[in-house]
């Protein structure tokens, strides 16, 4: 299975402060471990929300709001995509992530990525076929 590991923002990341040399060294070593274990598929750090934007959907209206955004704890600072056997393995790896700021509480969220099998019985062959036809139509219209 695949999981997305979401690193939440903190005041430093939102202020655009680069990590210390020590943390960078630890992170590089940790990323090397992930690569060596053959489970690292992708991962990136994100610029602070001041460089981002939001598009708010409201009826037919589309309103654009430029960053920064206030609710720091809800914001993301980076992500990984890992291939793991199950959630337990993902949790075990997350525990090994170097602590950016040991004095401060931080949260890392793990979310399994949907796979075709997850739809199980809900996605009947007929539904699959419909989905396929829909995709074909979309392609044909492009």
Binding region for another protein (CB under 8 A): 35-39, 41-42, 81, 83, 85-86, 88-89, 91-93, 115-117, 125-126, 128-129, 132, 135-136, 139
Minimum CB distance to another protein, residue 41 (Å): 6
Q: With respect to another protein, which residue has the nearer C-beta, 31 or 72? A: 31
Minimum CB distance to another protein, residue 128 (Å): 4
- Give one word for 38, left, alpha or beta, with left for phi > 0 and alpha for psi -120 to 50: left
Dist. CA 89–CA 3, nearest whole Å: 10
Q: With respect to another protein, which residue has the nearer C-beta, 81 or 97? A: 81
Q: With respect to another protein, which residue has the nearer C-beta, 74 or 118? A: 118
Minimum CB distance to another protein, residue 40 (Å): 8
Dist. CA 95–CA 103, nearest whole Å: 16
Query: What separation in angstroms does the CA of 16 have from each of 10, 22, 37, 46?
Result: 10, 17, 31, 10
Please give the DSSP secondary-structure letter assigned to residue 127: H
Dist. CA 103–CA 131, nearest whole Å: 49
Minimum CB distance to another protein, residue 34 (Å): 10
Q: With respect to another protein, which residue has the nearer C-beta, 62 or 95? A: 95
């Amino acid at each position: 299975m695949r999981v997305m590991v979401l690193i939440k923002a903190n005041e430093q990341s939102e202020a655009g402060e680069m990590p210390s040399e020590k943390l960078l060294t630890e992170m590089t070593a940790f990323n090397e471990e992930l690569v060596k274990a053959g489970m690292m598929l992708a991962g990136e750090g994100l610029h602070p929300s001041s460089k981002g934007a939001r598009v708010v959907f409201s009826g037919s209206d589309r309103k654009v709001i430029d960053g920064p955004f206030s609710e720091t704890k809800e914001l993301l600072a980076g992500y990984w995509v890992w291939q793991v056997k199950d959630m337990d393995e993902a949790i075990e790896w997350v525990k090994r992530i170097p602590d950016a700021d040991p004095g401060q509480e931080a949260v890392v969220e793990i979310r399994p990525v949907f796979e075709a099998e997850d739809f199980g019985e809900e996605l009947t062959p007929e539904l699959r076929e419909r989905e396929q036809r829909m995709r074909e139509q979309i392609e044909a219209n492009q």
